[in-house]
Structure formats: C-alpha cells, structure tokens
Amino acid sequence: MGQDLKVEQGSKVNLKDYDPDYTGKYKTEEETLEELAKLKDKMFDLQQLMYADNRYALLIVIQAMDAGGKDGLIRSVMSGLNPQGCRVTSFKAPSAEEKDHDYMWRIHPCVPNFGDIGIFNRSHYEEVLVVRVHNFVPKDTWKARYDQINNFEKYLFENKIIIRKFYLHISKKEQEERMMKRLLDPKKNWKFSGTDLKERQYWEDYMGAFEDVLMKTSTKSAPWYIIPSDKKWYRNIAVAKIIVEAMSELPMKWPEPSPDVKALAEKARATGKLPMP
C-alpha cells in the first residue's frame, strides 16, 4: 500500500501512521539515481524559465528533528541549481535584535524575489515547535500563531510566491544512529551540540507539536509534505519530484524579444552567421 506524502487541508495526522523507512516503488538507491539526475536537470531548466519569466518565486520550507537531514537534502537535491537565483536561509535562535520585534519580523525579508528560489532551513515554524515544547511563551500566544502563519502564507501565495513545505520524518532510532556517527567522526563533531541530546529527551513532545503544525497549517496555498527520511536517497527523490511538479504547474513563458532582437535572430537563423547590427 502506498503512503500519501501530501497532508490534505483539514486532515488528521498521527505520525505513528507514517513509516519513516518507506521507499515507495523503489527498493535500492541505485534505482533512483538516473531518475534523480533527470529531475535535477529539469529543475535547473525550470529555474531558468522562472528567472526569465520573473512573475513567480518558489519558497521551500524544510523542518525536521535534529539530524533529520535538512542540510543533506539541500546539498543533494539543490546542488544543480544556479546559485545566483537560489538563496538558503538558516534560522537559528533569535538574536537580541530579533527578539525586540514580532516573531515574523526576520522572516519576510528572506522571502525570495520574483524569479528566484528561496530555501528555509528551519523557519517561522520554530515559533510553534521549540517555543511550544519549552514553554517560552504562554500557550494562548503560540496557539494564535497557527492562524497568523496561515494568513502570512496565504498573502505570499496570492502575491505569486509558491510555497512547498517538507517535514523530514525520521525514526528515533535513525536519529540515534546519525548522532552516533557525528560523535564518532572527528570531521562531523562540529555539527554536534550537547543541546541535541537534551532536545532528544523531548521527542514525544516534538512529535505532538509537529502533528499540530501539519494538521493546522497544511493549506491549499502552502501544503505540507511528510517525507519518509530514514533512507536519505528516497527523501531526495521524493522532494525533487514535488518541487519539479510544483514548478511545472506554473504558467511561465519565455519573454518575447524586442523587435530589433527578433529581426537579428531571424537573420542569424536564415544565414547561419552572426548578423551585423
């Protein structure tokens, strides 16, 4: 039986019903390599069209538990994009300046320009995840943020910012194995923090917080996708497919050349030579 990745608006979500080791029709990584390469090529072509069309932007939001694979996904799937038109923003704990503003103050300036792709590595959703789990604000405050976030994302969508949101779903056992690799490999020690172990103690609290996020903020304007991520290779191809599909649905077109350029192009095609101006 298949596993739906998209969270339909208003649906109930119990993450225990989603197998983080699910790999769909694929059995091995080798089966995905050629298809993933083609998807990355297609993504690059669509990025060029989006830049030329200059009427839309794509915002990709990635959330996960620690060691969930956010950085790895960005490296593996987005590596074929033109970096001039793609910006990754990593949202850490708010700075002193950011704390002196409303919680969305630091978000909006990072939304991509028309023609560009923006990737949020963590995001405004930290304000209903870590803030909720650790009681940094009263319950009434974080509960109100679901509607605020939905309104913000609807506003972006209505202004031609296409949004796709990915929750990278890993098992607690897989997280333990990845954390151990970071501790055992000196080249990966820098990625580890003692707070990672402390956060792991709140696993069930985070699962409940993620379930509410997925149920309350997956909308037609900005849908969530639950991506099984124990197998990194399946995570990569699943996300690549969704991104290519989203970009392919946009009514983009190449701009018409100016009359003088059009005339020069016709001469070049007719003669096979570079025409004189």
Query: According to the model, what pLDDT value does residue 193 have?
Result: 78
Q: What is d(CA 11, CA 193) in angstroms, rounded to the nearest whole number? A: 35
**Residue 2 pLDDT:** 52
Task: Identify which of 198, 223, 180, 175 has the alpha carbon closest to the alpha carbon of residue 20.
Answer: 175
Structure tokens at 49: 């069209």
The residues, ordered by sequence, that sit 6+ positions from 239 with a Cβ below 8 Å of its Cβ are: 73, 77, 166, 225, 227
pLDDT by 10s per residue, the chain, length 277:
357 899 999 999 999 999 999 999 999 999 999 999 999 999 999 999 999 999 999 999 999 999 999 999 999 999 889 999 999 999 999 999 999 999 999 999 999 999 999 999 999 999 999 999 999 999 999 999 999 999 999 999 999 999 999 999 999 999 999 999 999 888 888 877 778 888 999 999 999 999 999 999 999 999 999 999 999 999 999 999 999 999 999 999 999 988 889 899 999 999 999 988 7
- Domain borders along the chain are 6-271
| Cα(137)–Cα(246) distance, integer angstroms | 35
Please give the Cα distance from 59 to 160 (Å, whole number): 10
d(CA 76, CA 240): 10
Name the class of domain 6-271.
alpha beta
Q: What is the pLDDT of residue 1?
A: 32
Q: Exposed/middle/buried for 236, CB within 10 Å: 0-12, 13-18, 19+?
A: buried
